[in-house]
Amino acid sequence: MAGVTDKVFKELAWMLVRALTAEQAKVCACVTEGATITRAAERAGVSPAEVEDWLATSPDFKAVYEQAQRLGAKHLEDELLELSATARKALRDIMQNPLADADVRHKAALAVLGLRRVPAPELPAGPALVPADSGG
């Protein structure tokens, strides 16, 4: 299970003391890495149908699996935040490098502007504009 951090294993430790089989625990560990049911089942040596059956019939497995999904989502979110910080720094370095090609700096600037997701502020409603020649 390459890529699973010590932190993830510590967070999963409580799961292993529950009444899970080794295969069930491995499925949950894979899910923390972002694996789908199919991929997690494959890595644990069971069928996806068996995982679905465990979810339907084993409250312990279902609880651990759902926690593993939450941990996996949090791990992915943390990784994406880290990568976005690295990407922002790379774009900033390119834009501020006077030796970089102007076209490359321009593309970097456009990439930054394209990533801007701050919504435009709402403007207060003002008086309705009436065309000067409407006579009204």
Whole-number pLDDT of residue 1:
46
Whether residue 127 is contained in a domain is answered as no
CA distance 74 to 36: 16
- What's the mean pLDDT when you consider all of the chain? 80
Indicate the number of domains in the chain: 1
Domain interval for residue 31: 6-115
Distance CA 88, CA 77 (A): 16
pLDDT per position as a tens digit, 1-55: 445 566 666 666 655 656 789 899 999 999 998 899 999 999 999 999 999 999 9
Given CA atoms 59, 14, 5, 3 in this order, what sign does their dihedral have? Answer: negative
* Token couple for 62: 């279902």
Asked whether residue 132 is domain-assigned, the answer is no
What predicted TM-score, i.e. pTM, was given to this entire model?
A: 0.57
Q: Is 75 part of any domain?
A: yes
- Is there a domain that residue 109 lies in? yes
